[in-house]
Chain A
Amino acid sequence: MKKVLIVGAGAQANVLCGVLSGAEEVSTIVLTDIDIKRAEGIAETNGSPKIQTEVLDASDIDAMTRRIQDDSFDLVINATIPKFVRQVLQAAYNGRTNYLDMASNEIYPKPDTPIEQLDYAEQWEKAGLLCLTGAGGDPGLSNIMAKDAVDDLDTVESISIKDFGEADCDEPVALWSMRTYLEDMYLPSTQTIDGKPVKCPMFTGEEEYDLPEPFSKKGKFYYHDHEEGVTIPLFCGKPVKNCDFKIGEPGIDMWRFMIQGLNMMSPEPLEFPGGRVSPMEMMFRLIPETASPRKQIELYDSGRLESRLILVCDTEGTKNGKKILIHQYTKSPSGKEACAWIKGTSDVSWMTSIPASVFALMILRGQVKHTGVVPPEVFTKEEREVFYEGIGEWGISVIKTRKELNGRK
């Protein structure tokens, strides 16, 4: 029987607990957070006796190390905000336990380090441990989709990944950490262009894109600071000329107006009658907290919130001398459907943490044959098939079409 430690009791942990608590081979889930009430809230909503809640500070490497060493965990899942990647990763290593996370905090912190997890690649490899990084929806499922397309081609010209979501509610609601979202929009993003990592200013890479069903409309996209654009060309197994990640939503131009036009994410303090405050501080004060499971249940059940998400991966290259476009997109439950399936979830946490849960179960079942620090695009065809089967059981599927370009898209 397997024991899992989850660090961070937010929206992702709610889904992880929902899936892992139902898995036969998982006997114990220790769900931790600096705020015990958050962990207790999830445990209460879930109701499984396998879930134990504890206080744990993700910024405290020693405390986390002691906790991991005190028990014989089979996997540490980092489900807290990306700011604590280095700390949780280090604690898992100290406790010699396999590790999984869903995001990075630093894209190219150094010229030879695409993401901060890779700073530790050598020690994890030597220890024979697995650090599966970027193992959520995007990054995660998106990387698997890209790798699938890469394997279908002889040469790869470009990989373009898109994330489009819409949430309609009569009050401000965050289904994801809005702070992280705004920071990612404000920061320059790194994309692979002509085979090299290139820093792109905020709100560049503007594109109107025809979204597939069920959206069936045009969506506006911009480059976004994400892991796929830098890890996939390095790990997918073939040279890739261009690889980018773009984000879109119906209100993205409003964010552009606020962030780029009005400079509302500026960290420079301004003078007010009450004192000095930066626009960024004011924004962070006013944006909504990520909705709690209880709040999401209330909003979806009352019909006040409707939300849906899609991931798209377009890969261009050649096969047998012909130009090919491989177009892939996800089908997944709407927010309301997700919340009915595992109480307190949304389409966003579903798309992120169902893949994370399946990756976790694959590690626990010994179905991932890798060691060291790796992203999901290293998965073999067999590993990918197991993964697809796993997410399929939870309503996530990928539609894949292939088209000869003949010089035209």
Chain B
Amino acid sequence: MKKIMVLGVGAQGSTIAKRLNDEPGVEEIICADYDKKAAEEMGNTLSKAKGVVVNARNVDDIIQAAKGCELIVNGLAPDFNMNVMDAALSVGACYQDMASGPVSDMGFVDAVKRVLGRSGEFEKAGLTALVNTGSAPGFANVLTREAVDMLDSCASIEISVYDGIWSKKFIPFWWSPQTAFGDMAAQPITYKNGEFVRSKPFNNPGMEDFLGLGKRKMVDHEHEEPVTMGLLADKVLKGVSYVNFRYGGPGLDLAEYFYKMGLLSEEPVDVKGTKIVPMDLISKLTPPAPKYPAEIQEVLDEGMITEEGAFLVRVTGKKDGHDLTIDSYVNAPGLTESFEKAKITHESYMTGQSAFLFTKMFVNNKISTKGVFPPEVLAAEERAFFLKEAAKLDITVDQYLYRTLY
């Protein structure tokens, strides 16, 4: 692939564009964003990049900018997914995104189904649309399939992400705080015996004993994995009957405080005769995630309170008649190390670069399947390519097998 569009050059999109700039086969990267400064910044700093202003609310605007591109990497919020998919089909480009929901016009499960439901269109056009391609979802889905393929039958999949990067400077989240707070306040979805079960936010609190880290509080969390894996349970995940996603960390604790106080509510409240949406206050007061090197350096200079994390995919099932639990732990640099290595945050290092690795698979023609699908559908040799390339970026995986003999 010679010409690629990265639409949305925030923390993740800009990381993808930077890595693409080093890919020998790539000749031109269209860095498109609504924010002129962000687009121009990419055009000015990357040799192969051209900064373009695009309003993704307008499909024609995307089509115009994407002409001649063989792949559109969608780094925007999921509300824009349909427009970007329309544009990809229109210009005959493959498509990649990092999330399916939440969206404003329908529920989370329906949003995921709507994206996957366009598979026929892409298949007919001979195109590939790889969706949910960050760290989680994304990397987590690849590891899940790796583990499931080791089993004869799969009983459960649980993905746990603990983010304990907490700086002295007040940074609640290392990605969009509005998105993060919105995600936290959403009702988690668990796949159970063929159904998607909704529960209350911050449901099912419990301590997970992570290897090398210890016990940390985790709660159920709304995410794509239980939905896509539930939908694909019989097709690629050996009949799994339970899929859950859990999240933990100081940011979650903060969000729980906010949520309990009603500060994450989208419903207006009357404050001395003035109607105010609490979430608007939070959005106004919360600082954005640092993105530029000088901003990250400032955070590191002020000092860190904790710099710890865990990324665990636990799959259980049967192998040769025995119960088998497979724990896959992802090893990735923290904030300090990520900045030393690549002048980016740990979030971009893991999520942005994971997304780039999927882009790299497109660039190197490593994906043969057509249609719309998430990474758990990728074939064994495709996943092997992904994991080998990840290791080159110091993102490695330790797999632990626990087998009950009798």
A residues near B (Cβ < 8 Å) are: 171-172, 251, 253-254, 257-258, 260-264, 270, 272-277, 279, 281-282, 285-288
Contact = CB atoms under 8 A, between A and B. Distances in A.
Interface in B259-297: 260-263, 268-272, 274-278, 280-282, 284-286
B197 interface: no
B215 to A, nearest CB: 13
Given A172-B261, A270-B284, A286-B261, A275 B274 contact: yes
Contacts of B278: 282, 286
A273 B263 contact: no
B257 interface: yes
B261 A272 contact: no
Contacts of A282: 269, 271, 276, 278, 281
B269 A262 contact: no
17 contacts: A251-B253, A257-B254, A258-B254, A258-B257, A261-B170, A270-B284, A272-B274, A272-B276, A273-B277, A274-B277, A277-B281, A279-B281, A281-B272, A282-B271, A282-B276, A285-B269, A285-B272
B8 interface: no
Interface residues of B, number: 27
B172 interface: yes
A144 B38 CA distance: 63
A251 B261 CA distance: 13
A286 B269 contact: yes
* 9 closest A-B pairs by CB: A261-B170, A275-B274, A274-B275, A262-B285, A172-B260, A285-B271, A254-B257, A277-B271, A286-B262
B280 A273 contact: yes
Interface string B211-230: 00000000000000000000
A261 B250 CA distance: 14
Contacts of A279: 281, 285
A281 B271 contact: yes
Contact of B170 (A260, A276, A288): A260
Interface string B98-111: 00000000000000
B170 A272 contact: no
A272 B254 contact: no
Contacts of A258: 254, 257-258
Given A172-B260, A285-B269, A272 B281 contact: yes
A262 B170 contact: yes
Nearest to A255: B257
Contacts of A274: 268, 274-277
A279 B261 CA distance: 14
Contacts of B257: 251, 254, 258
Interface of A is mostly: mixed
A276 B274 contact: yes
Nearest to A275: B274
B281 A270 contact: yes
A330 B254 CA distance: 30
B42 to A, nearest CB: 30
Greatest chain B CB density within 10 A among A171, A172, A272 is at: A272
Contact of A254 (B254, B268, B275, B277): B254
A263 B172 contact: no
A287 B253 contact: no
Nearest to A281: B271
A262 B280 CA distance: 13
B276 A277 contact: yes
Contacts of B277: 272-274
A264 B282 CA distance: 9
A258 B278 CA distance: 14
A264 B300 CA distance: 24
Contacts of B258: 258
A84 B281 CA distance: 31
Contacts of B286: 262
A175 to B, nearest CB: 15
Interface string B72-90: 0000000000000000000
A257 B258 CA distance: 11
A396 to B, nearest CB: 30
A209 B250 CA distance: 20
B157 to A, nearest CB: 28
B253 A272 contact: no
A263 B170 CA distance: 11
A253 B168 CA distance: 11
A281 B268 CA distance: 14
Nearest to A263: B285
Given A263-B285, A282-B278, 6 more contacts: A272-B276, A272-B277, A273-B277, A279-B281, A285-B271, A288-B261
A244 B103 CA distance: 51
Nearest to A250: B253
A286 to B, nearest CB: 5
A21 B295 CA distance: 62
Contacts of B170: 257, 260-262
A104 to B, nearest CB: 28
A275 B281 contact: no
A150 B284 CA distance: 50
Interface in B234-267: 250, 253-254, 257-258, 260-263
Contacts of B270: 285
